[in-house]
Structures are given as structure tokens and as C-alpha cells.
Amino acid sequence: MSIFVVHQNLSRSDDRGFVFLPDRFNWLAFFLPPIWALSRRLWLVFVLIVAAIIILNFFAMVFFLPMVWIYLLGSWWLAMAANSIEGLFLARQGWQVISFVEASDLVAAEEQFFGTYQPRPANLSTKTNSQTVTY
């Protein structure tokens, strides 16, 4: 069972306004960090990964074994934090965390979430004696 973090873009009203990010180890980010960053369109992360690889390769000419271990530890950290990093970039773009769902896979998480999802009204307002009350 995995926990999925549900992000919603409030400016969209269709099903594409939701993103389900699993809170688990990301194997693609571990084995191929630049490919993971490109596939998620995380350009800043991609540039940082490539810069780190270039710097590690420069120092690997002298200290080969320590640089391999540093690369493996960095890849492990990135794989553990990959989905959280993606969530941070979604938050910077205006997406909001609205729910957490525990499910075995993405399809089950979507079924469980949309089975109980009650969309909030965009803007409720009622008029009372020349006053407008917004909820």
C-alpha cells in the first residue's frame, strides 16, 4: 500500500486538474536522474543534476571511489525525495494539496478519491439587506 498525495489546480474544472503523486521510492530518479527530471519537466532540477554530475566527474579523476559513493548517495536521496520535489514545483505553480489517499496503485487511488470527492463551490454569495456575504 502506498500513500498518494492529491494535488488540485483550482483554475481547472476537468479531471486534468488533479495530480496523484505516490509517496515512495522512485526508481527512475535513482538509476537515471537526468531522464527523470526531463520526463517531469523539472528544468531547474535537471540543470542542477547535470552540474553535479559534471563536478563529480571532474573530482573523480583524482578521488574515484569516494565520488562513486557520493553519486550513489545523492541518487538515493533524490529517489527518496523525487515525488516531494515534484510536489514542491507543483505548489509553486499554484497547485494545492487537497487530500491523501492510501491505495495499492494509481487506479485504486483515483477510484477511492473520486468516489468520495465533494468539490467545493467556487464562490457562494448571498445577499441580505444590501449586504453581500461570501463564504
pTM of the model: 0.75
- Point out which residues pair with 100 in neighbouring strands: 5
| The predicted structure's pLDDT at residue 118 | 74
Tens of pLDDT, residues 81-117: 999 999 999 999 999 999 999 999 999 999 999 888 8
Q: Does residue 31 carry a pLDDT above 60?
A: yes
| The predicted structure's pLDDT at residue 59 | 86
52's CB contacts (< 8 A; 6+ apart) are 74
Task: Give the span between the Cα atoms of 127 and 105, in whole angstroms.
Answer: 46
Q: Does residue 125 carry a pLDDT above 60?
A: no
| The predicted structure's pLDDT at residue 117 | 81
**Can you tell me which residue has the cell 579523476?**
61
Angle, alpha carbons 3-10-1 (nearest 5°): 10
Q: Tell me what the mean pLDDT of segment 13-26 comes to.
A: 86
Which helix (H) or strand (E) covers residue 118, if one does?
none
Quick check: 45 and 35 in contact, CB under 8 A?
no
- Point out which residues pair with 19 in neighbouring strands: 7
Q: Does residue 48 carry a pLDDT above 90?
A: yes
82's CB contacts (< 8 A; 6+ apart) are 26, 29, 36
Q: Tell me what the mean pLDDT of segment 118-134 comes to.
A: 57
Q: Does residue 132 carry a pLDDT above 90?
A: no
Q: Express as a percent the part of the chain with pLDDT over 90.
A: 64
Grid coordinates in use for 95?
Answer: 497547485
Task: Give the start-to-end residue ranges of the domains of the chain.
Answer: 2-134
- Of 60 and 129, which is predicted with more confidence? 60
- Of 1 and 27, which is predicted with more confidence? 27
